[in-house]
């Protein structure tokens, strides 16, 4: 009987009367799944989108990208009209609002059991932050980002016979030498120790010096006594201001640092006029190489200078938050596809590289893991013309699976160039360093208070480093900050740290 049944099934498959496992029956409709998100830079691809074709064939659904230029307004309108999108990327504030309205899934726990990759990268911070009343309220991406770090011109150190600095005083001395001792050997006074982009509104990456005082930026933290604390209160912010004042007053920084924009600062960097930067290594290296017509001269110029405190600034400790509508969650078939898409699109699965960068679906067919733990993604043939802009994430597909550090170097070539290898090793070194835990990101602070605090801090900060305020003015500033917003923010921080078991 069993043999007869097997022969019958085989016959039906041959003549096409029985669908293959997983295939849609002729009368079945494809599941439509809408992705709703605030785009980083562009709308979905306008032509025949190879990412869409890849995803729809792989997962058997009709995917629709809906970039929302005004996410807050549009999502509220959708909720009011009982027309919620299926999958969303949102902030914690937006998530809390939608949870209160009951229009999104309130517990991902049953689904995470079938999402092994996502389950494997969930951190204790993510678990604590996203667990509410015993329920796990979102599906986060990997908690990471492209970290900034101090980079120093190694060739200038070598030329001047200097060692890599090991403390703040030595770093300032190196910046003095880079400014006044003609490190490029052209006999002209045209180099500086540091640069950044204030854009007429702030201190830019001068804030990186704050991290040299064993603090994670100008943010609340839990101190060694288990108490809530802040750099303004413990005095480390004043120490940072003194260093910045020295840098400015001695002319160790590029003169236009306060007025120039982010891209402007790179002109002096790739023209070889700056000795120390605080930025993402990838951008420094790739922009320099591009500006020099890809001549490879940037290789070996810069060296990573690890933070003296032992920790680099925190990355995104929570991760980009994703969830689904309550209506989507009530559809088992739709949820099965969504969970597969999110899980199989997570690093280091193959679909992460496909949906975020074009592996197999956009001309890229070489994928190799490097010794530093990162990846190389390349092309075996230049005849495969890519349709992607810089970063397929801009099309939405990659933004849905992972909107943070890419973990790979991508090239039109079939193997890594010297610049690719140099850049990837630098990125890996910074990424793999110890980082502050970013506990301040768990604070649910009032947005208006945060803005008032930032404005108060920035006003005194710029006045002090330009020499218009003195150390004798600091206590009055602390009192003003506490009155304007500091005391209320302290209470919010303390509440959050107690809630997540970081302090008592």
What's the whole-number mean pLDDT along residues 292-296? 95
- Checking if the pLDDT of 458 tops 70, the result is yes
Rounded-to-integer distance, Cα 455 and Cα 240, Å: 18
* The dihedral formed by the CA atoms of 383, 387, 389 and 390, expressed in degrees to the nearest 10: -40
Which of 407 and 138 is assigned the larger pLDDT? 138
- Between strands 274-279 and 149-153, the pairing is antiparallel
pTM for the complete prediction?
A: 0.85
The phi-psi region of residue 401 (left if phi > 0; otherwise alpha if psi is between -120 and 50; otherwise beta) is: alpha
Q: Which helix (H) or strand (E) holds 93?
A: helix 92-101
The shares of helix, strand and coil residues in the chain, as percent rounded to the nearest 5, are: 45, 15, 40
Q: What percent of the chain has pLDDT over 70?
A: 90
For residue 4, pLDDT beyond 70? no
pLDDT given at position 410: 87
**CA–CA distance, 361 with 306 (Å, rounded to integer):** 38
CATH architecture of 25-143+319-344: 3-Layer(aba) Sandwich (3.40)
User: How do the domains of the chain map onto residue ranges?
Assistant: 25-143+319-344, 149-311+443-499
Distance of CA 45 to the CA centre of its chain: 23
Q: Is 60 exceeded by the pLDDT of residue 313? A: yes
In terms of Cα–Cα distance, which of 318, 231, 320, 322 is closest to 500?
Answer: 318
* Alpha-carbon span 358 to 377, nearest angstrom: 9
> What DSSP character marks residue 312?
B
Position 215 pLDDT exceeds 90: yes
Q: What is the mean pLDDT of the chain?
A: 89
pLDDT at 357: 84
Q: Is 188 left (phi over 0), alpha (psi -120 to 50) or beta?
A: beta
Dihedrals phi, psi of 278, to nearest 5 degrees: -125, 100
Measured CA to CA, the distance from residue 371 to residue 393 in angstroms comes to 26
* pLDDT confidence of residue 404: 67
CA angle 364, 369, 371 (to 5 degrees): 145
Determine the pLDDT at residue 452: 97
Sign of the C-alpha dihedral computed for residues 90, 96, 100 and 105 taken in this order: positive
Cα separation of 231 and 486, whole Å?
11
Q: What token pair was written down for 115? A: 């999402």
Tell which wins on pLDDT, 400 or 376: 376
Confidence class of residue 20 from pLDDT cuts 50, 70 and 90? very low
The CATH H-level (homologous superfamily) assignment of domain 149-311+443-499 is Periplasmic binding protein-like II (3.40.190.10)
Write down the pLDDT at residue 406: 72
Distance of CA 219 to the CA centre of its chain: 18
426's enclosing H/E stretch is helix 418-431
pLDDT at 21: 35
Least confident of 84-88, 144-148, 470-474: 144-148
CB atoms within 10 A of CB 446: 13
| Per-residue confidence (pLDDT) for residue 423, from 0 to 100 | 94
pLDDT score recorded for residue 146: 83
In the predicted model, what is the mean pLDDT of residues 274-278?
98
pLDDT band for 126, please (50, 70, 90 cuts).
very high
- Residue 351's pLDDT band (cuts 50, 70, 90): very high
Which of 15-19, 125-129, 358-362 bottoms out in mean pLDDT, i.e. has the lowest? Answer: 15-19
pLDDT value at position 10? 39
What is the C-alpha to C-alpha distance for residues 90 and 71, in angstroms, rounded to an integer?
8
Backbone angles phi, psi at 284, to 5 degrees: -60, -50
| Tokens of residue 482, six digits | 């506490």
Residue 44 CA to chain centroid, in angstroms?
Answer: 21
484 vs 362: CA distance, rounded Å = 53
Percent of the chain with pLDDT over 90: 74
Domains 25-143+319-344 and 149-311+443-499 in one fold:
yes
pLDDT at 26 over 60: no
């Amino acid at each position: 009987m069993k043999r007869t049944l097997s022969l019958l099934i085989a016959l039906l498959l041959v003549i096409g009367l029985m669908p293959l496992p997983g295939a849609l029956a002729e009368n079945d409709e494809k599941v439509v799944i809408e992705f709703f998100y605030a785009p980083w830079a562009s709308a979905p691809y306008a032509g025949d989108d190879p990412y869409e074709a890849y995803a729809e064939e792989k997962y058997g659904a009709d995917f629709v990208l809906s970039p929302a230029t005004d996410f807050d307004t549009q999502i509220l309108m959708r909720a009011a009209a009982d027309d919620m999108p299926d999958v969303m990327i949102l902030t914690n504030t937006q998530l809390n609002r939608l949870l209160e309205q009951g229009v999104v899934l309130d517990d991902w726990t049953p689904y995470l059991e079938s999402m092994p990759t996502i389950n494997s990268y969930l951190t204790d911070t993510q678990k604590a932050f996203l667990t509410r009343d015993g329920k796990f309220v979102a599906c986060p991406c990997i908690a990471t980002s492209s970290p900034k770090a101090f980079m120093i011109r190694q060739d200038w150190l070598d030329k001047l016979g200097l060692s890599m600095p090991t403390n703040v005083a030595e770093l300032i001395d190196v910046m003095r030498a880079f400014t006044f001792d003609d490190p490029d050997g052209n006999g002209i006074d045209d180099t500086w120790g540091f640069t950044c982009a204030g854009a007429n509104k702030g201190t830019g990456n001068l804030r990186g010096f704050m991290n040299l005082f064993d603090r994670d930026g100008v943010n609340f933290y839990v101190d060694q006594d288990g108490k809530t604390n802040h750099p303004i209160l413990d005095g480390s912010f004043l120490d940072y201001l003194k260093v910045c004042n020295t840098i400015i007053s001695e002319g160790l920084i590029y003169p236009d640092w306060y007025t120039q924009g982010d891209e402007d600062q790179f002109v002096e960097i790739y023209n070889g006029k700056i000795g120390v930067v605080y930025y993402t290594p990838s951008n420094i290296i790739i922009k320099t190489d591009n500006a020099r017509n890809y001549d490879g001269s940037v290789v070996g110029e810069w060296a990573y200078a690890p933070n003296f405190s032992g920790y680099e600034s925190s990355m995104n400790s929570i991760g980009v938050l994703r969830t689904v509508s309550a209506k989507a969650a009530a559809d088992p078939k739709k949820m099965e596809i969504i969970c597969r898409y999110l899980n199989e699109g997570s690093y280091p699965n193959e679909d992460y590289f496909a949906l975020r960068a074009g592996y197999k679906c956009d001309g890229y067919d070489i994928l190799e893991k490097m010794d530093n733990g990162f990846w190389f993604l390349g092309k075996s043939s230049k005849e495969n013309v890519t349709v992607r802009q810089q970063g397929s994430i801009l099309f939405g597909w990659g933004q849905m699976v992972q909107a943070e550090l890419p973990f790979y170097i991508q090239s039109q070539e079939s193997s890594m160039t010297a610049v690719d290898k140099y850049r990837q090793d630098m990125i890996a070194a910074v990424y793999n360093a110890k980082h502050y835990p970013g506990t301040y990101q768990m604070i649910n602070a009032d947005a208006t208070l945060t803005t008032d605090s930032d404005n108060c801090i920035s006003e005194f900060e710029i006045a002090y480093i330009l020499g218009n305020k003195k150390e004798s003015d600091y206590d009055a500033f602390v009192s003003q900050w506490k009155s304007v917003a500091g005391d209320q923010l302290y209470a919010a921080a303390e509440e959050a740290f107690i809630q997540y078991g970081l302090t008592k």
